[in-house]
Amino acid sequence: MTRRPLAVIAVAAVLLLGLAVGITAGLKSENIAGRYCQKVFVPSYFAASGWPSVTGAKHMPSTMILNPSTGIGAGTAPNPAFQSVVRQARRAGIKVLGYSSTADGTRPAAQILADVRHYKAWYGVNGIFLDSVNGTSGEFAYYKHLYNYIHRVIPGSSVWMNPGVYPLRQYMSVSDVLMVFEGTYGQYRAAAVPSWARDYPADRFANTVYDAVTSSQANSTISLARSRNAGYVFVTNLSGADPYNALPAYWSSEVTAITAGCGR
């Protein structure tokens, strides 16, 4: 995912759950059962050799994002190592999305359409994750075209879009899941949610939070995501230029806390 500055507005202070503990301590699972079940996803921007630690574990996510070229999109040729681990993930019941950057709506649509075809032919993905989405009116037709094409080429697919903030409401009509937050734990505590977000099911929204250093911060994030109607959640203690190049230190506990009583 492309990282960008996030516009944040101060809201009520977040209640941290429990005392601060080491990052490898278990996360709490209180307040997880409720009016909807959250799901875990993973921006899997690491080598294929790291996928079995996700797909072969007792605790697995519902969705993984495949980024074989760790760059713009599908790359120029299939990667046999990734083909193998994607098959394993799908056999385990995990949905796999192919990564494709839209460069804030400036990348030629033909390149993204080629990514879609390659991801389907090379990896048999369940959908596409469109990154670097501006979410403004000027690019709406561009994204509508991509959305319709993806569903036509990959029947039954899921189209995720990542503006990193809440876009114009009309983008709900050209996405199946919107990533409406991507940023640090500190930014997340102060982020605002527009009233219209409550008109949709939680599984239409995803939140990604990095630099949640302690288990207590991760636990607070999970609880806050529930209160913000976010059905998909990923939290990591990592930060820096690429906080998605490995799993968080508290990964197993995170999955358990998010999915307690719900399955993954």
Domains in the chain and their CATH numbers? 39-259 (3.20.20.80)
Which SS3 state, helix, strand or coil, does residue 84 take? helix
Beta bridge partners of 64: 42, 96
Mean pLDDT of 57-73: 89
Instruction: Tell me if the pTM is above 0.85.
Output: yes
Q: Would you place residue 1 in the very low, low, confident or very high pLDDT band (cuts 50, 70, 90)?
A: confident
Which SS3 state, helix, strand or coil, does residue 177 take? strand
Total Cβ atoms within 10 A of residue 49: 9
Segment 189-218, tens digit of pLDDT: 999 999 999 999 999 999 999 999 999 999
Mean pLDDT of 19-35: 43
Q: Copy the structure tokens of residue 173.
A: 């009509």
Q: Is 90 exceeded by the pLDDT of residue 63?
A: yes
Q: Copy the structure tokens of residue 218.
A: 């991760």
In this structure, are residues 208 and 181 in contact, taking their beta carbons and an 8 Å threshold?
yes
**Residue 248: predicted pLDDT:** 96
